Amino acid sequence: MSLKSENITPITVIIADDHVLYRAGVKTALSSKKDIKIIAEADNGSHLLMLLKAIQPDVILLDIQMPIMDGIATLPEIKKLYPHIKVIMLTMMDDHSMITKLMELGANSYLTKTSDSEIIYEAIKTCHEQEYYFNSLTNQALLNNLRQKNAVMPHRFMTEDARLTDKEITVLKLMCEEKSTREIAQAVELSPRTVEAMRDKLKTKTGTKSTAGLIMYAVKHKLLDEDL
């Protein structure tokens, strides 16, 4: 297993944060991880976008509050120009309305800057492999947003009920449990490619555009065995 891991191409990361000490701390903490490589640093969004013209990483750690161009303004630009890059937002605040806004703008996860290095490492790996990294912050924010929407327009939301097969519901539940495509494929005895096709079909049937939307759909229609 160790020999195999040495041959894996590392996940490339850029850190965009105006605090030099924070960047240095994250860089040092992740330096022991052989499957992660910090390839550049930026101190604001404008600097980051300049860097991206020359190098595109797999994942960006993007601070929300920065001078000149903050993370909120930078995120849509990254997603428009480089949609394949995963973006993990960093902040000192656990503002639910902000989390929801950023997830809707295309953020792949949201971490507080007090998160330890193992959480950051896990978020980078999960976003790279599975598109999204959900945690208690993101889940609670999505649920709060969902409740607010249902309170405003309950009939419209609750009547939009797609007819899902038992297998599609099982796949959706496994997605909500943060299982990888490979793990889901093994659980439902299908190929990973078929699972990917089912994921796309689920988005079409439920009228959602992302994995986050699918999870919100599953919660809204009580398809999960337990609350997220």
| pLDDT at position 21 | 93
C-alpha 106/C-alpha 30 separation (Å) is: 25
Number of domains the chain is built from: 2
Residue 153 · residue 63 · CB < 8 Å: no
AA letter at 222: K
CATH of the domain at 177: 1.10.10.10
Q: What is the pLDDT of residues 87-107, one digit of tens each?
A: 999 988 776 677 878 888 889
Q: What is the CATH number of the domain that holds 93?
A: 3.40.50.2300
Mean pLDDT of 203-223: 77
- Tokens 């097969």 label which residue? 165
Domain span holding position 90: 2-137
Q: Is residue 53 part of a domain?
A: yes
Give residue 150's pLDDT band: very low, low, confident or very high (50, 70, 90).
low
Residue 124 and residue 216 share a domain = no
Quick one: 101 exposed, middle or buried, by C-beta within 10 A (0-12, 13-18, 19+)? middle
Distances (CA, A) of 85 to 79, 146, 149, 200: 7, 27, 29, 19
Find the mean pLDDT for residues 148-169.
Answer: 59
Is residue 147 assigned to a domain?
Answer: no
pTM of the complete model: 0.65
Residue 167 and residue 133 in one domain: no
Give how far Cα 227 sits from Cα of 173, 184, 211, 218, Å.
11, 20, 17, 10
Decide which of 106, 137, 168 is a domain's last residue.
137
Residue 99's pLDDT is 80
